[in-house]
Chain A
Amino acid sequence: MTANALLAIIGMGIATYLTRLSGFYLLRGLNLTCRSKAALDALPPAVLMAVIAPVILTTGWAESAAAAITAAAAFFRLPLAVTIVIGIASVVVLRAILG
C-alpha cells in the first residue's frame, strides 16, 4: 500500500466523520424560536425527498410510477420490508413494460 493511498483513506475518513459529528454540536445551547423549530422539523422529510428526487422525478416513467406505488403501499402502513419488496417488484415490471 502506498503512502498516498493511506493518506487518501485517512483524509476521506476525517472529512466524512466531521460532517457526521458537526451536526451534534451545531444546535447545542441555541434557544430556538417556534419558527426555527418548524424549519428543523421539516428537515427530515425535506432531506428524504431531496435524496430520492433525481430517481423518482428525472429518471423515467417507470421509476416515477414505481415511486407512486411504493408511496401508496407505505400509506396503507404496510411493514417496511413489504413496502420495499413492492417497490422493487413494481420497478422491475414497469421497466419491462415501459422499456
Chain B
Amino acid sequence: MNSGRRDFLTGLSEVAPVVVAYVPIGLLWGTLAAAKGISPFEALLMSVIVFAGSAQFVAVDMWNDPVPVVLLTFTALIVNVRHVLMSASLSRHVGGIPRALHPILAYFLVDESWALAERRALQTPLTLAYYLGITLPLAMTWWVCTGLGAMLGRALGDTSAIGLDFAFSAMFIAILMGFWKGAGTAGVLAASGAVAAATHLAVDGPWYIVAGGMAGALYAYATWRAGADA
C-alpha cells in the first residue's frame, strides 16, 4: 500500500468516533434551523459555505425576518476568532503540503480536525492524505446531517440525556493529554483554564477560548528559560 493511501486510511480510522458524534449534532442543528423557517436548501448552502458548527448554532438563534446580514457576519467572525490561533499553530506543520493547497486546508479547519491534525504532527509530519482523511468525512457528515435535519424538521430529543453533549469535551481532553510535557505544561493549562473559565463567567460569547489560549501562550513566553524544555 502506498504511503498516501495508508495516511488517508489512518485519518479515516482516527476521525471515525468524531464522525459518529457529528451525526446527532448535525441533525439537531437542521431541525432548529427548520423551526426558524430556514429551508433545507438554505441550511445545506450554509453548511457548505460556512461549515462551522458553533457559528451556525448562534446564527440560527439570531435568524429573523428580515435576516440581519451585518450582525450575522460580524457574529460569525467573533465566534470563529479562535481559528486564527488554530491556523497559526497548524501552519508550522504544513511544510510538506504545497502552499497552493493551503487555502483548501483552511476551509476544512474546524476544532475537531485541528485537534487531530496537531496530535498527528506530534508524532509524524502532516500529509495532505492524512488531513483529507480526517476532514472529508467530517465535512460530508456535517453537510448531509444538517440538510437531513432541516428536511425532517422535527425536534430531536435532548442530546445531553445520552451524554452526547460531552463527546467533544471528552475528545479534546484525550487529545490534550498527548501534549503533556511535564510541569511546564501544567502551568500552561492552569493559566489557560483559569482565564478561560473566568472569562466565560464574566463575558458573554466565545471570547473565553481566545483569552485562555493567549493566557497559556503568555505563560509559556514568560516562564521560558534557555535550555529548559517546557
Contact = CB atoms under 8 A, between A and B. Distances in A.
Interface in B76-131: 76-77, 80-92, 94, 102-103, 105-107, 109, 111, 115, 118
A88 B166 contact: yes
B185 A45 contact: yes
Contacts of B72: 8, 11-12
Interface string B177-213: 1111000010011011101110011000000111111
Nearest to B43: A9
A15 B17 contact: no
Interface residues of A, number: 71
B162 interface: yes
A99 to B, nearest CB: 13
Interface in A10-40: 10-28, 34-36, 38-40
A84 B81 contact: no
A17 B55 CA distance: 12
Nearest to A81: B17
Contacts, number: 288
Grouping DSSP codes into helix (H, G, I), strand (E, B) and loop, the A interface class, with mixed when no group exceeds half, is: helix
A81 B209 CA distance: 25
B67 interface: yes
A2 B167 contact: no
Interface residues of B, number: 94
B69 interface: yes
Interface in A65-99: 66-67, 70-71, 73-75, 80-81, 83-89, 91-92, 95
Interface stretch (B1-9, B136-144, B145-153, B220-228): B220-228
A4 to B, nearest CB: 4
B35 interface: no
A50 B88 contact: no
A73 B84 contact: no
21 contacts: A14-B73, A20-B106, A24-B105, A38-B230, A44-B115, A46-B192, A46-B212, A46-B220, A47-B89, A47-B209, A47-B213, A50-B196, A50-B211, A53-B192, A53-B197, A57-B193, A66-B170, A81-B17, A84-B17, A87-B169, A87-B171
Interface of B: 14, 16-17, 21, 38-39, 41-42, 45-46, 49-52, 55, 59, 66-70, 72-74, 76-77, 80-92, 94, 102-103, 105-107, 109, 111, 115, 118, 162-164, 166-167, 169-180, 185, 188-189, 191-193, 195-197, 200-201, 208-221, 224, 226, 230
Which 10 A-B residue pairings sit nearest by Cβ, starting from the closest? A46-B216, A50-B212, A23-B87, A87-B170, A11-B73, A42-B220, A23-B88, A53-B196, A13-B49, A50-B196
